[in-house]
Amino acid sequence: MQVVATLSLKGGVGKTTVTLGLAGAALHHGVRTLLVDLDPQANATIALDASPTDATVADVLDDPRRSVVRRAIAPSGWGEGLDVLVGAEQTERHNHPDPGPKQLVRLSRALHRLGDPDGPLPPADDGRPGEGEPYRLVIIDCPPSLGQLTRSALAAAHRAVLVTDPTMFAVSGVQRAFDAVQTERERGNPDLQPLGVLINRVRPRNTEHEFRIAELRELFGPLVFSSVLPDRSAIQQAQGACLPIQRWDTPGAREASAVFTLLLGRVLRSDRARRPDGEVTAPPATR
Protein backbone atom coordinates (compact mmCIF):
# COMPACT_ATOMS: atom_id res chain seq x y z
CA MET A 1 0.00 0.00 0.00
CA GLN A 2 1.53 3.27 -1.16
CA VAL A 3 0.79 6.36 0.96
CA VAL A 4 1.13 9.75 -0.74
CA ALA A 5 0.63 13.13 0.93
CA THR A 6 -0.25 16.20 -1.12
CA LEU A 7 0.81 19.37 0.60
CA SER A 8 1.49 23.03 0.22
CA LEU A 9 2.44 25.50 2.89
CA LYS A 10 0.98 28.32 0.81
CA GLY A 11 -2.81 28.48 0.66
CA GLY A 12 -4.84 28.85 -2.50
CA VAL A 13 -2.56 26.95 -4.89
CA GLY A 14 -5.02 24.14 -5.67
CA LYS A 15 -3.68 21.41 -3.40
CA THR A 16 -7.08 19.73 -3.08
CA THR A 17 -7.54 20.00 -6.85
CA VAL A 18 -4.38 17.93 -7.29
CA THR A 19 -5.55 15.44 -4.66
CA LEU A 20 -8.87 14.98 -6.44
CA GLY A 21 -7.23 14.76 -9.85
CA LEU A 22 -4.89 12.03 -8.65
CA ALA A 23 -7.78 10.16 -7.03
CA GLY A 24 -9.78 10.43 -10.25
CA ALA A 25 -6.86 9.06 -12.26
CA ALA A 26 -6.54 6.13 -9.86
CA LEU A 27 -10.26 5.40 -10.19
CA HIS A 28 -10.09 5.65 -13.98
CA HIS A 29 -7.19 3.20 -14.13
CA GLY A 30 -8.62 0.72 -11.66
CA VAL A 31 -6.27 1.42 -8.74
CA ARG A 32 -8.17 0.82 -5.51
CA THR A 33 -7.71 4.01 -3.48
CA LEU A 34 -8.53 5.62 -0.16
CA LEU A 35 -8.49 9.41 0.09
CA VAL A 36 -7.81 10.72 3.61
CA ASP A 37 -9.25 14.22 4.05
CA LEU A 38 -7.07 15.85 6.74
CA ASP A 39 -7.99 19.42 5.77
CA PRO A 40 -10.56 20.77 8.29
CA GLN A 41 -12.34 22.49 5.39
CA ALA A 42 -13.23 18.97 4.16
CA ASN A 43 -13.48 20.16 0.56
CA ALA A 44 -12.28 16.82 -0.80
CA THR A 45 -15.01 14.99 1.12
CA ILE A 46 -17.63 17.32 -0.35
CA ALA A 47 -16.30 17.05 -3.90
CA LEU A 48 -16.22 13.25 -3.66
CA ASP A 49 -19.88 13.21 -2.59
CA ALA A 50 -19.04 10.82 0.24
CA SER A 51 -21.81 8.91 1.97
CA PRO A 52 -22.66 9.84 5.59
CA THR A 53 -20.61 8.12 8.30
CA ASP A 54 -20.81 7.63 12.06
CA ALA A 55 -17.26 8.95 12.53
CA THR A 56 -14.71 11.19 10.81
CA VAL A 57 -10.95 11.48 10.61
CA ALA A 58 -11.15 13.68 13.73
CA ASP A 59 -12.47 10.66 15.66
CA VAL A 60 -9.72 8.49 14.16
CA LEU A 61 -7.10 10.92 15.46
CA ASP A 62 -8.78 10.73 18.89
CA ASP A 63 -8.78 6.94 18.83
CA PRO A 64 -7.13 5.06 15.92
CA ARG A 65 -8.69 1.70 16.78
CA ARG A 66 -9.82 -0.49 13.89
CA SER A 67 -13.49 -0.08 14.75
CA VAL A 68 -13.26 3.73 14.66
CA VAL A 69 -11.37 3.75 11.36
CA ARG A 70 -13.99 1.42 9.92
CA ARG A 71 -16.81 3.79 10.86
CA ALA A 72 -15.03 6.80 9.33
CA ILE A 73 -14.59 5.30 5.84
CA ALA A 74 -17.29 5.97 3.23
CA PRO A 75 -17.63 5.07 -0.43
CA SER A 76 -17.26 8.07 -2.70
CA GLY A 77 -19.95 9.10 -5.14
CA TRP A 78 -17.44 8.88 -7.98
CA GLY A 79 -17.60 5.11 -8.30
CA GLU A 80 -16.57 1.80 -6.83
CA GLY A 81 -12.90 1.56 -5.96
CA LEU A 82 -12.49 5.03 -4.44
CA ASP A 83 -13.31 5.52 -0.75
CA VAL A 84 -12.94 8.42 1.68
CA LEU A 85 -11.73 8.69 5.24
CA VAL A 86 -14.05 11.62 5.66
CA GLY A 87 -12.96 15.04 6.82
CA ALA A 88 -14.68 17.37 9.27
CA GLU A 89 -14.27 20.84 10.74
CA GLN A 90 -13.59 19.19 14.11
CA THR A 91 -10.25 17.95 12.76
CA GLU A 92 -8.88 21.42 13.53
CA ARG A 93 -8.71 20.50 17.21
CA HIS A 94 -5.86 18.16 16.33
CA ASN A 95 -3.81 20.80 14.53
CA HIS A 96 -1.49 21.63 17.43
CA PRO A 97 1.55 23.71 16.48
CA ASP A 98 3.94 21.59 18.56
CA PRO A 99 2.60 18.02 18.81
CA GLY A 100 4.25 15.23 20.73
CA PRO A 101 5.45 11.95 19.20
CA LYS A 102 2.35 10.03 20.34
CA GLN A 103 0.07 12.51 18.58
CA LEU A 104 2.03 12.30 15.34
CA VAL A 105 1.80 8.51 14.98
CA ARG A 106 -1.98 8.15 15.36
CA LEU A 107 -2.72 8.51 11.66
CA SER A 108 0.12 6.13 10.78
CA ARG A 109 -1.29 3.57 13.22
CA ALA A 110 -4.75 3.94 11.71
CA LEU A 111 -3.47 3.46 8.16
CA HIS A 112 -1.38 0.50 9.24
CA ARG A 113 -4.59 -1.20 10.29
CA LEU A 114 -5.81 -0.97 6.71
CA GLY A 115 -3.21 -3.59 5.86
CA ASP A 116 -4.28 -5.97 8.64
CA PRO A 117 -6.07 -9.12 7.48
CA ASP A 118 -8.99 -8.15 9.71
CA GLY A 119 -8.61 -4.43 9.11
CA PRO A 120 -11.32 -1.97 8.11
CA LEU A 121 -13.05 -2.56 4.80
CA PRO A 122 -15.13 -0.09 2.79
CA PRO A 123 -18.72 0.22 4.06
CA ALA A 124 -21.49 -1.48 2.13
CA ASP A 125 -24.50 0.46 0.84
CA ASP A 126 -26.36 -0.13 4.10
CA GLY A 127 -23.57 1.51 6.08
CA ARG A 128 -22.11 -1.72 7.45
CA PRO A 129 -18.53 -2.69 6.56
CA GLY A 130 -18.41 -4.53 3.28
CA GLU A 131 -15.86 -6.69 1.58
CA GLY A 132 -13.21 -5.58 -0.86
CA GLU A 133 -9.62 -5.84 -1.96
CA PRO A 134 -6.93 -4.01 0.05
CA TYR A 135 -6.17 -0.45 -0.97
CA ARG A 136 -3.25 -0.09 -3.32
CA LEU A 137 -3.01 3.67 -2.87
CA VAL A 138 -3.77 6.08 -0.01
CA ILE A 139 -3.80 9.82 -0.80
CA ILE A 140 -3.71 12.27 2.11
CA ASP A 141 -5.00 15.80 1.51
CA CYS A 142 -3.14 18.02 4.00
CA PRO A 143 -4.16 21.45 5.30
CA PRO A 144 -2.07 24.43 4.13
CA SER A 145 -0.16 24.75 7.40
CA LEU A 146 2.64 22.93 9.18
CA GLY A 147 0.95 21.77 12.36
CA GLN A 148 0.08 18.38 13.75
CA LEU A 149 -2.16 17.42 10.81
CA THR A 150 0.41 17.94 8.06
CA ARG A 151 3.18 16.45 10.16
CA SER A 152 0.97 13.42 10.90
CA ALA A 153 0.51 12.93 7.17
CA LEU A 154 4.25 13.14 6.56
CA ALA A 155 4.90 10.70 9.40
CA ALA A 156 2.59 8.20 7.66
CA ALA A 157 3.53 8.79 4.01
CA HIS A 158 6.06 7.21 1.66
CA ARG A 159 5.99 10.08 -0.83
CA ALA A 160 4.96 13.75 -0.82
CA VAL A 161 3.66 15.76 -3.78
CA LEU A 162 4.51 19.44 -3.30
CA VAL A 163 1.90 21.64 -4.96
CA THR A 164 2.53 25.24 -5.92
CA ASP A 165 1.50 27.90 -8.41
CA PRO A 166 3.69 30.17 -10.56
CA THR A 167 3.62 33.28 -8.37
CA MET A 168 6.26 35.30 -6.56
CA PHE A 169 5.64 33.39 -3.32
CA ALA A 170 5.98 29.98 -4.97
CA VAL A 171 9.68 29.51 -4.28
CA SER A 172 9.48 30.14 -0.53
CA GLY A 173 6.37 27.95 -0.24
CA VAL A 174 8.00 25.02 -2.03
CA GLN A 175 11.18 25.43 -0.03
CA ARG A 176 9.30 25.32 3.27
CA ALA A 177 7.35 22.25 2.15
CA PHE A 178 10.54 20.54 1.00
CA ASP A 179 12.23 21.35 4.33
CA ALA A 180 9.22 19.93 6.20
CA VAL A 181 9.54 16.65 4.28
CA GLN A 182 13.25 16.43 5.00
CA THR A 183 12.74 17.24 8.68
CA GLU A 184 10.06 14.59 9.14
CA ARG A 185 12.24 12.07 7.36
CA GLU A 186 15.06 12.75 9.81
CA ARG A 187 12.73 12.68 12.80
CA GLY A 188 11.48 9.16 12.27
CA ASN A 189 10.11 8.34 8.81
CA PRO A 190 13.11 7.37 6.66
CA ASP A 191 10.78 6.00 3.96
CA LEU A 192 9.50 9.51 3.19
CA GLN A 193 10.74 11.28 0.07
CA PRO A 194 9.45 14.17 -2.04
CA LEU A 195 7.88 12.73 -5.18
CA GLY A 196 8.08 16.03 -7.00
CA VAL A 197 6.87 19.61 -7.34
CA LEU A 198 3.68 20.02 -9.38
CA ILE A 199 2.99 23.54 -10.67
CA ASN A 200 -0.72 24.33 -10.88
CA ARG A 201 -2.83 27.07 -12.50
CA VAL A 202 -0.39 27.86 -15.29
CA ARG A 203 -1.54 30.22 -18.03
CA PRO A 204 0.10 29.90 -21.45
CA ARG A 205 2.11 32.81 -22.77
CA ASN A 206 2.09 34.51 -19.38
CA THR A 207 5.50 36.13 -18.86
CA GLU A 208 5.29 36.12 -15.06
CA HIS A 209 4.32 32.45 -14.98
CA GLU A 210 7.14 31.53 -17.35
CA PHE A 211 9.63 33.41 -15.18
CA ARG A 212 8.47 31.71 -11.95
CA ILE A 213 8.47 28.26 -13.54
CA ALA A 214 12.03 28.79 -14.76
CA GLU A 215 13.00 29.94 -11.27
CA LEU A 216 11.52 26.82 -9.69
CA ARG A 217 13.27 24.56 -12.20
CA GLU A 218 16.58 26.28 -11.57
CA LEU A 219 16.30 25.85 -7.82
CA PHE A 220 14.72 22.38 -7.58
CA GLY A 221 15.95 20.81 -10.82
CA PRO A 222 14.42 17.45 -11.82
CA LEU A 223 12.20 17.49 -8.73
CA VAL A 224 9.89 19.83 -10.69
CA PHE A 225 7.51 17.90 -12.94
CA SER A 226 7.98 18.68 -16.62
CA SER A 227 4.19 18.64 -17.07
CA VAL A 228 2.29 21.52 -15.47
CA LEU A 229 -1.40 21.84 -14.71
CA PRO A 230 -3.09 24.46 -16.90
CA ASP A 231 -5.48 27.04 -15.49
CA ARG A 232 -8.72 25.65 -16.95
CA SER A 233 -12.32 26.40 -15.91
CA ALA A 234 -13.17 22.75 -16.60
CA ILE A 235 -11.41 21.77 -13.37
CA GLN A 236 -13.68 23.98 -11.24
CA GLN A 237 -16.74 22.91 -13.25
CA ALA A 238 -16.05 19.23 -12.67
CA GLN A 239 -15.53 19.81 -8.95
CA GLY A 240 -18.76 21.79 -8.75
CA ALA A 241 -20.60 18.88 -10.34
CA CYS A 242 -18.91 16.41 -7.92
CA LEU A 243 -17.38 14.55 -10.86
CA PRO A 244 -13.79 13.51 -11.56
CA ILE A 245 -12.05 15.59 -14.19
CA GLN A 246 -11.59 12.37 -16.15
CA ARG A 247 -15.35 12.33 -16.82
CA TRP A 248 -15.61 15.98 -17.86
CA ASP A 249 -15.42 15.86 -21.64
CA THR A 250 -13.87 19.14 -22.76
CA PRO A 251 -10.45 19.92 -24.26
CA GLY A 252 -9.33 21.61 -21.01
CA ALA A 253 -10.46 18.65 -18.94
CA ARG A 254 -8.62 16.21 -21.18
CA GLU A 255 -5.48 18.33 -20.93
CA ALA A 256 -5.63 18.29 -17.11
CA SER A 257 -6.54 14.60 -17.04
CA ALA A 258 -3.39 13.74 -18.98
CA VAL A 259 -1.25 15.46 -16.34
CA PHE A 260 -2.95 13.50 -13.57
CA THR A 261 -2.37 10.25 -15.44
CA LEU A 262 1.35 11.07 -15.60
CA LEU A 263 1.30 11.87 -11.87
CA LEU A 264 -0.36 8.55 -11.08
CA GLY A 265 2.24 6.73 -13.15
CA ARG A 266 5.03 8.36 -11.18
CA VAL A 267 3.33 7.46 -7.90
CA LEU A 268 3.02 3.80 -8.89
CA ARG A 269 6.59 3.64 -10.18
CA SER A 270 7.85 5.09 -6.90
CA ASP A 271 6.04 2.29 -5.06
CA ARG A 272 7.98 -0.29 -7.06
CA ALA A 273 11.20 1.62 -6.27
CA ARG A 274 10.75 0.96 -2.55
CA ARG A 275 12.76 -2.14 -1.73
CA PRO A 276 11.39 -5.03 0.37
CA ASP A 277 13.77 -4.28 3.23
CA GLY A 278 12.32 -0.78 3.54
CA GLU A 279 15.22 1.04 1.88
CA VAL A 280 14.05 3.80 -0.42
CA THR A 281 15.65 4.49 -3.78
CA ALA A 282 15.63 7.82 -5.55
CA PRO A 283 12.36 8.66 -7.36
CA PRO A 284 12.27 7.96 -11.09
CA ALA A 285 13.17 10.84 -13.40
CA THR A 286 10.38 13.27 -14.13
CA ARG A 287 8.52 12.63 -17.36
Q: What is the pLDDT of residues 17-66, one digit of tens each?
A: 999 999 999 999 999 999 999 999 999 999 999 999 999 999 999 999 99
pLDDT of 217-227, one tens digit each?
999 999 999 99
Q: Is residue 146 classed as helix, strand or coil in its secondary structure?
A: coil
What is the residue-averaged pLDDT of the chain?
89
pLDDT at 118: 53
How far is the C-alpha of 201 from the C-alpha of 134, rounded, in Å? 34
Is pTM beyond 0.95? Reply is no
CB 1 within 8 A of CB 114: yes
Write down all domains in the chain, each with its CATH number in brackets: 10-272 (3.40.50.300)
